[in-house]
Chains A and B, each alone.
Chain A
């Protein structure tokens, strides 16, 4: 087991290295760097001054030197400072990450809860209108991108109820009502796609498990309907759900970028968008790496949970 984790961490490290390299090169290839963009509309700035400014950011150094400097800094715990605000990246991250994590976790909870509920409901009342509606809803939910869902909800609420979400962020601890008003729609939008997948997967898993031998045996022994459902069938269904979470993760993370920007939520997503637009290299690199790490960690956790939940995988030998 330890060896497996070690292998995964190693592979993940290579992954991160590739990504870092890619981002560095990408930012280098971009036409116009931070300074040029900022000074785009500024007249009266001479070429020499612009060059000086660039040198002060280290932008005129060759690529490898920039990479080396940055890595050296990281080794000492210094992730650089934003070109824009000159604030240390670590500080900015510390502010932004919790916000996105909150939103993400809430969306995840909603998705899993609703998904499981709809899935179980659909399996339980198979063939009824509830089931049909759930299945149609699921396919539709899978087809609509996050931002479109969010916008459609917004359109409906705005035009029907003349309501609009607050655009100034208040943390949940200060004012839960304002927080949820601002964050509610993005959370629902993020959760929708996952809910749809989870609901479908849960439903088919449950149907399979409910008709399986072991469940029939329990029923024959006189287990009540409730126990039969929850104890046995749910365990079987949880495996594919875990895989789904891993698969959907990429899309969800991406969704945070657009949604945060749209709804003015100060999280990592909005930060990434701003950073790319302004070519704020230190931020761009760290944000991208952050997403990668989250992805790698979550997929590793999902795989480990997989092995725990399904003992067959464990004995067969994890990793190949």
Chain B
């Protein structure tokens, strides 16, 4: 599938950044400020003379690392909350769902603004802020799946053999929701990349000089007319990465769907 190849490419680029990037992301070439793409600087340079290509490549690293950490931690917490909520029902469910609704009802940007304002720009804080936004999504899927799976006959059968709640949840419920969780995780991954770029765009994400696509776009706004490549290239990189993960998520969803109904 095309998307897998694209993702492999992106991941590869991010991992190999130090090797394949022509220059260092913080190296400033004072004599080549705001240069359009050329043989020496394939994607041009920015207002401090830094190579755009290098910064994009390292930006991939930043975005992927943040997205991975966010999705994994946020996913773990969100899924745990969803499973507990769906399994226990009643009071616990009510409380968890209210909190989840509250998080969801604030537009992500506003929430990110608030959190970034409280916590201050740094990478761990960015991950924390982004993570909170991911929680309702994972919670919803995990809860829905738990409620659905709770009704399955084999859960009752295992219980009659003597399995307790913990074993039922860990050995029977969680493994059987693997597919939908993977789909959600992939799509969430894409939206985290977007959200992180929005944060850095507003100057609230990882602090400089860490390269981040959103920050690059933001600083390029001033040179909209004179040096459009400062905006265009990071934007394209951003769009392509998100596109790749969206496509992957879509394929996963399509792949899993007929299999589910065929069983």
Contact = CB atoms under 8 A, between A and B. Distances in A.
A interacts with B:
yes
Interface of A: 11, 14-15, 18-19, 22-23, 26, 29-31, 139-140, 142-145, 147-148, 151-152, 154-155, 158-159, 164, 250-251, 253-255, 257-258, 262, 272-273, 276-277, 279, 284, 287-288, 291-292, 295-296
A158 B220 CA distance: 14
B169 interface: no
Contacts of B217: 147-148, 151
Interface in B212-228: 217, 221, 224-225, 228
B106 interface: yes
Nearest to A269: B109
Interface of B: 98-99, 101-102, 104-110, 113-115, 117-118, 120, 190, 194, 197-198, 201-202, 217, 221, 224-225, 228, 231-232, 235, 238-239, 242-243, 246-247, 250
Contacts of B120: 31
B36 to A, nearest CB: 12
Nearest to B245: A143
Contacts of B102: 14-15, 18-19, 22, 292
A276 B204 CA distance: 12
A292 B108 CA distance: 11
B243 A140 contact: yes
Q: Tell me whether chain A's interface is mostly helix, strand or loop, or mixed.
A: helix
A84 B105 CA distance: 27
Contacts of A19: 102, 105-106
17 contacts: A30-B118, A139-B247, A140-B239, A142-B246, A145-B242, A147-B201, A148-B239, A152-B232, A152-B235, A250-B104, A253-B110, A254-B110, A254-B198, A255-B109, A276-B113, A292-B105, A295-B105
A286 to B, nearest CB: 12
Nearest to B234: A148
Contacts of A11: 98, 101
Contact of A29 (B118, B231, B247): B118
Contact of A14 (B98, B108, B110, B235): B98
